[in-house]
Structure 1
């Protein structure tokens, strides 16, 4: 399955690069949520590759909905994570593909076609960037850490209050606008902490596998284990997590 996920992610990435910085038909799904004809074309190609190899598997796609989600295996696809960046000509976007077995995440593939960086992980087998093993950073001091988050974490009054409790203690807070790729950056140590308050499953499925297989942790704000379908979480190296939880829950 990992090989198929890689093949599909690269095929989607090829479509993204072919159409990058060109005119697109833009459709609104919400106040800050859009999709383009390129999102749809990428998802169509990805699904085609998956269905050819695994016709009985379920698929959840951001743009074209769900099919056969009662299957033992379900593929979770974001054909263009970072659509706002993409549409604006900002080169920070990716293709994200996760696989769950009986609702447990087992495979994650994130492909950054701009930099030709392929992040892969399979449960129990480690996490890799272009074939080289990666690990989360194990920093122990908050003011040495780079944190990334999503806009919802800073716009909602209650959620913003939690965020403000510790953002000023960090080396650098960031909002990059492509959640899956940001999680991949946590997995390889470029970002120390990802603080999440609102999400869809296709945004995070692949990245969660990567972080766990890279030696990191994904926990809810109360410190309990995060499960597929839940919203709020902290993703980081193991060493810094206790400080993050203590700060946001004080």
Structure 2
């Protein structure tokens, strides 16, 4: 049985509660695709509702922790050393189009250091989580990064700019958090993206490291301007060589 902290337990319970609303609303999105209004306003409401649930749940036993969230921005409470970082739905465009590839993301940062991270894919029921110096897990199974060491055998992910730039074997999934989780569990070998937000990468950055991978210094939590490079340790130097001008 894995031993997890009370904070990570709180994060898991909050994500599971919020996921009920996400799964219900995702079912509605397909109906809205064919309506004149479309699903845009509805998805915005879902985002805000999920964020509200997460904030309420996380605040129950940690009333003083501050927040950084995608929808609201910074919420400063009494404790300004401990932050919850929340992305209610990472992969909103996928969600909007009825594509079942998105995630709820929560990270705990203490004194500018990522202590724990959670990425929950509610449709596939995959709960990725990690804690500093305690490893990374998927539904209680320990994760390790890929051991492939030839770029020709590897699969990488990025956004549109990254896929156009690189001659690596690329995918663009539309969900950065799951890309990082997939690097941690060996489904992908590397992920890179420029000018990305902290709530997209905080949880996954810790996960990759705890699964034995390598991640660059992510600009000391510059909230909206992060250039991230994450990969297995076996392929890191080769990936970075390919990205020297990116």
Global fold match (TM > 0.5) = yes
Matched, 1:175 2:148: no
Displacement of 1:5: 0.7
Matched, 1:123 2:132: yes
45-54 or 230-239: bigger deviation: 230-239
Instruction: Give the alignment of 1:94-105 within 5 angstroms.
Output: 94-105=103-114
Corresponding residue of 2:68: 60
Corresponding residue of 2:221: 228
Corresponding residue of 2:198: 201
**Greater relative CO (CA pairs within 8 A, separation 6+):** 1
State the TM-score, normalizing by the size of structure 2.
Answer: 0.87
Displacement of 1:36: 1.4
**Residue 51 (structure 1) aligned to one of 56, 59, 72:** 59
Corresponding residue of 1:242: 237
**Residue 157 (structure 2) aligned to one of 134, 148, 156:** 148
Is the Cα contact below 8 Å between 1:75 and 1:98 reproduced in 2?
A: yes
SS of the residue corresponding to residue 192 of structure 2 reads: strand
Matched, 1:16 2:15: no
Corresponding residue of 1:26: 40
Displacement of 1:247: 2.4
SS of the residue corresponding to residue 66 of structure 1 reads: strand
Extract unaligned runs of 5+ from structure 1: 28-33, 155-159, 220-224
State the alpha-carbon separation in 2 of the partners of residues 210 and 249 from structure 1: 24
Displacement of 1:228: 2.6
Displacement of 1:152: 4.1
The Cα RMSD (Å) is 1.8
Is the Cα contact below 8 Å between 1:105 and 1:228 reproduced in 2?
A: no
Corresponding residue of 1:31: none
State the alpha-carbon separation in 2 of the partners of residues 123 and 104 from structure 1: 9
1:134-166, CA deviations, whole angstroms, 9 ceiling, x for partnerless residues? Answer: 011122111111011012435xxxxx5xx33xx
SS of the residue corresponding to residue 92 of structure 1 reads: coil
SS of the residue corresponding to residue 72 of structure 1 reads: strand
